[in-house]
Structure 1
Amino acid sequence: MCNSVVLGVDIGTSSTKAVALTLDGQILGIATRTHQVDRSHPGRVSMDGEIWWQEFVGLCTELSPHAPGGFAAIGASGMGPTLMLCDAAGRGVAPAALYGVDTRAVEQIRQLEDAFGAEEIYRTGDSYLSTQSVGPKFAWFRQHDPEAYAAARTFHMPASLLVHRLTGAYVLDHQAAGQCSPLYDAARHRWIAERCELVAPGITFPRLAWAGDRAGEVTRTAAAQVPGLRAGAPVTVGTIDAWAEAHSVGATEVGDLMLMYGTTMCLVATQDHRVRHPSMWGSPGLVPGRWTLAGGMGTSGAITAWVRDLLGGSSYDSLTCDAAASGPGARGLLMLPYFDGERTPILDPSARGTICGLTVRHTRGDLFRATLESVGYAVRHHLETFHEAGIVPRRAIAVGGGVRSALSAQLVSDITGLPQQLTRISIGASYGDAHLAAGLLADTPPLSDWNPVVRVIEPRPEPAYDELYRLYRQLYESTRDIQHALAARHSASAGEPLPDHRATATAPERSVTAPERSAPVSPAGPDTPRSPR
């Protein structure tokens, strides 16, 4: 086993990344494939899921020289919760609807709340329905793409698709299933068969397991088709990227908070009991006995890329330098980062990006500074929401491409007052996937040994940020109706009606109720409900 090489693969919003590691955590190679999602229809953010497999094949081919005998084990993760409708053989029948940035199913949220009761959905699944939920997207396909739905027999997320193509197994991890509201019972760790039959008739649901469990082995067929694959090599069940990212830096212990700086910002807090908040996402963790409360912005890194392109493709280094010179408050500029609607904690798919305070004297550095500060204000809003749910992080660990910008992460600490730990390696989810894969072969050391903390970003006191944060919260409340009206006009200009934004915008007004603390629940056996069409 000493010469064994494992492969970790993560399919993200803007790229797929793979890393080859030895069993003691040594990095042998890293490879990346970039891609784009389809945003051509208002409210829809989709992607051809076949690209996920094609990129996986290319990454295996590139990294195969590091594993002359073939990869000894494989771990996978991907953006989610994502809904890719597939036929019985696991071939896509429609472009996949991505996670909460895809807001197509807002009307279906209302329909399912009417059918099952919003409070009952929250009680059984630890989350209210939102654009993050998978269930309403099943209903959307049934109503708006009946031809594709009629051809569907299964569904996949990025990790489960790779696992299926590699092993033939049809399996999903409990964490991902926990975001398939209203179809998953959080207390019993199983699908709710009656709801699955009503919401997704004709669909066979995958068996459930934990992220690091063995899903199966690489088949001879897959090994013959893809360089670097070894028949019989074990493959993990896998999970959603943010949770694999948390694992990559060891942020999965009770009291940990992971901040993932990516195309979107995601925050995951880990507890030893069920925890929920009406404007956040509650779900099981990566292993039995762990529970998470999570939130995510609709955009974060995506806005910095937009600003860079808007400014003629300026380099991030030069923009960051100019932003640093601008100073706290961006010389009177304030931005709402809701450029693609917003997920948590406002749950408003009709929210829109807002830049307030512009004058002809503002510079590109001011604009970029306001962009970075808007992410900090959004993180502060999330931290306040975690506190409302009774979560005070023991420590916070930052990870993702955004941490390579010293100013970006520093501003988040300055605005929130939150110290952030940085680990030696910030590859991300694929690194966590590789560690889980290594665990199928041998006892692996904890991530703190593989990837120790090397630096802490300490907050720099800046009194102005308290007042600016108050204005940030006030700006949304003051302009929400205008944002919704403009969103409706944008949608109408594209020939598509805008769904009723109230289906999610009212969720934060619900009361905060904490579920009873309970002992860890043993996972139920395979439960694969299916109903006739």
Structure 2
Amino acid sequence: MSALFLGIDVGTSSTKGVLVRPDGEIVASASRAHEFDLPRPGWAEHDADQIWWGDFVAIARSLTAPLAEPVTAVGVSGIGPVLQPTDERDRPLRPAILYGIDTRAGQEIDELNAELGADAIAERAGAPLTSQAIGPKLRWLRRHEPEVWRRTRRIHMANSYLVRRLTGEYVLDHHSASQAIPLYDSRKLDWADGWAAAIAEHIELPRLAWPAETAGLVTATAAAETGIPAGTPVTTGTIDAWTEALSVGVRRPGDVMLMYGTTMFIIAALDARRVSPPLWGTVGTFPGTFSLAAGMATSGATADWVRRLAGQPDFAGLAAEAGQSPPGANGLLMLPYLAGERSPLFDPDARGILAGLTLRHGRGDVYRAALEATAYGVRHNLESFAEAGAEPRRLVAVGGGTTGGLWTRIVSDVLQRPQSLCATPIGACLGAAYLAALTAGADVDIDAWNPVVTLVEPDPAHAAVYDEGYALYRRLYHDTVDIAHALAARQV
């Protein structure tokens, strides 16, 4: 009987699962859509029980129920860094506060920078304090929800919460911990002496392990809920963008993943630690590895906003119309900062702008401008990678936005770089299944599981118009930033 590895990933807008054989054969896959809550401008939240655990249980049951053979190992991953406070019985005390798209803790970022020193934080943690960081959100919780703060005993990210429900173990991987800035020391690979205790105070911090290490075994209670046999090993897991990168073989220095999802996320694999203020320096997925990461606050979310505004039921019709609009979208230019912006601006009060509108423009032009705006944002971030000494040598695209072809062609044209596409765009859940295989001691090769099948080549004829568009894109933010900030102040 062949081994069978289950990988489940909780993303921002959906949860996906896959069952894989050691040779990479995908036995079955499943997905469940969900939404994230936006209770106030700048806030973004998930219900951990309903979304994280509820989706996991539903997908695990749907994938394993038809099987006559048991799962060999379970891999988990999920959105992060996120903050889910729980009480002494690990019951969520409030909705989870999501990653950098949640910008509520701006005052707390300023306070911690003043107290600890911005340079000291970047040097010790590997990255600056931004809306992505956990430390400021903990301080926000203490200030604004004191009763929740008083009752908080543990803090979870999505993967650690799943591990806790499955195994009873309280453990977080080193990579995710390295994004819990400034609680983690990325030089010592441990919780930061002094800082962690001062910020987390009475909260118990999880033990640390690597993503492919066994976190624990499925308990009888979890087995009854999920259908996964008791005693099945479960990986520690990690943040979904890093399992997504793993799923397409981004692990060698110079490899860069472009993840086309609700947000655009970019990861460069490194063999040495680098600190670059416009980017996030993190610990890698495996011991001895590191990465630089960048993330836009929206990408697919902006495209979906245009789709809904245009009254379209799906993207296909809108993409066809955008395909008829020429490069440059007939003179339209968009800033895609509809939820502020993360790297490299780190400006939570940035706002979206659509410049150049006339009565002749149609929804295809607007949609193309939105796709081009995300491509300009990718170019801005990749320039920051190069400036940090991490020049991208190979770009690998993954995620739901790679289907259809238009978006990836626009990005390659704006970058004037090719992008590799792999056979299976399932993404992070496949990377989680790969971690499960490693946990089980299987001899597996992710490049064999998911080989490159397509190369998206740039069209040199479009280089000049996109070079000009990119220069205008950079100018538009700087020329309108004061107005954007003034308008953001009205949006409460």
Same fold (TM over 0.5): yes
Report deviation, 1:68: 2.8
Alignment match, 1:150? 150
Q: Distance in 1 between matches of 2:313 and 2:479?
A: 33
* 1:127-138 matches, cutoff 5 A: 127-138=127-138
- Check the 8 A contact 2:394/2:419 in 1, yes or no: yes
Q: How far apart, in 2, do the equivalents of 1:203 and 1:299 lie?
A: 32
* Pairwise CA RMSD: 1.0
Counterparts of 1:74 and 1:375 in 2: how far apart (Å)?
34
- Provide the residue aligned with 2:318 in structure 1: 319
| Inter-partner Cα distance in structure 2 for 1:438 and 1:373 | 38
The one-letter code sitting in structure 1 at the alignment partner of 2:471 is R
Q: Deviations over 1:349-377 (max 9, x none)?
A: 00001000001110111001101100110
For residue 471 of structure 1, what is the amino acid of its counterpart?
Answer: L
**Where does residue 382 of structure 2 map in the other structure?**
383
What is residue 358 of structure 2 aligned with on the other side? 359
Distance apart, 1:442 and its partner CA: 3.3
Aligned equivalent of 1:118: 118
Corresponding position: 1:302 with 2:309: no
Distance 2:404 2:444 in 1: 29
Which residue does the alignment assign to 2:476? Answer: 475
Task: Give the distance between the partners of 1:334 and 1:386, measured in 2 at CA.
Answer: 24
Conserved 8 A contact 2:312-2:318 = no
Quick one: percent identity of the two aligned structures? 48
In structure 1, the residue matched to 2:233 is: 234
Return the offset for 1:117: 0.8
CA contact 2:22–2:444 (8 Å) conserved in 1: no
Q: Which whole-Å deviations, capped at 9, do the CAs of 1:373-430 have from their partners, x for residues lacking one?
A: 0011000001110011011122111000000130101100000112100111110000
The one-letter amino acid paired with 1:17 is K
Partner residue in 2 for 1:490? 491
Name the CA distance, whole Å, in 2 between partners of 1:395 and 1:444.
26
Q: Is the 8 A contact 2:261 2:399 kept in 1?
A: yes
Residue number in structure 2 paired with 1:34:
33
Q: 1:3 aligns to what?
A: 2
Pairing of 1:434-453 with structure 2 (within 5 A): 434-453=433-452
Deviation readout 1:280-317 (Å, 9 max, x if unpaired): 10011000111100000000000111111101124311
Measure the CA separation in 2 of the matches of 1:15 and 1:428: 12
- SS of residue in 2 equivalent to 1:193: coil
**Cα separation, 1, equivalents of 2:124 and 2:261:** 30
CA–CA separation in structure 2 for the residues paired with 1:359 and 1:165 = 54
The answer as to 2:467 corresponding to 1:466 is yes
Equivalents in 2 of 1:326, 1:21: separation in Å? Answer: 41
Alpha-carbon distance between aligned partners in 2 of 1:378 and 1:221, rounded to the nearest angstrom? 46
DSSP 3-state at the match of 1:331: helix
Structure 1: give runs of 5+ residues left out of the alignment: 492-533
Moved over 3 A (4+): none
Instruction: Give the Cα separation in 1 of the matches to 2:196 and 2:444.
Output: 39
Match of 2:429 in 1: 430
1:23-70 CA-to-partner distances (Å, cap 9, x unmatched) read: 221111111111111112121111111121011111111111343343
Separation (CA, whole Å) in 1 of partners of 2:39 and 2:224:
37
Query: Which amino acid in the other structure matches residue 65 of structure 1?
Result: A
Listed as ranges, the gaps of 5+ residues in structure 2 are: none
SS at 2:198's partner residue? helix
The higher relative CO (CA closer than 8 Å, separation ≥ 6) is in 1
Task: Name the counterpart of 1:331.
Answer: 330
Q: For 1:445, what is the secondary structure of its paired residue? A: coil
Deviation at 1:6, TM superposition (A): 1.4
Separation in 1, partners of 2:467, 2:141: 44
- CA distance in structure 1 between the aligned counterparts of 2:65 and 2:3, rounded to whole angstroms: 13
Give 1:517's aligned residue.
none
Report if aligned partners of 2:421, 2:452 keep a CA contact under 8 Å in 1.
yes
Amino acid at match of 1:62: S
Residues 130-529 of structure 1 correspond to what in structure 2 (within 5 A)? 130-227=130-227, 229-461=228-460, 462=462, 463-491=464-492
- For residues 456-491 of structure 1, the C-alpha deviation after alignment (integer angstroms, 9 at most, x for no partner) is 111111111111100000000000000000000112
Partner amino acid for 1:329? G
How many correspondences in the alignment? 489
Distance in 2 (alpha carbons) for counterparts of 1:261 and 1:444: 30
Partner letter of residue 78 of structure 1? G
The residue type paired with residue 253 of structure 1 is R
Mapped contact 1:80–1:99 kept (Cα < 8 A):
yes
Match of 1:513 in 2: none
TM-fit CA distance, 1:444: 2.7
The CA deviation at 1:71 is: 1.8
Residues of 1 paired with 2:183 and 2:314: CA distance? 45
| Inter-partner Cα distance in structure 2 for 1:24 and 1:122 | 42
Contact 1:72–1:230, Cα closer than 8 Å, also in 2: no
Provide the C-alpha distance between the structure 1 equivalents of 2:125 and 2:357, rounded to a whole number of angstroms: 43
Decide whether the 8 Å contact of 1:397 with 1:422 is kept in 2: yes
Rounded to whole Å, the distance in 1 between the matches of 2:224 and 2:424 is 33
Matched residues in 1 for 2:425 and 2:443: separation?
19
**Displacement of 1:89:** 2.4
| Separation of aligned partners in 1, 2:322 and 2:69 | 49
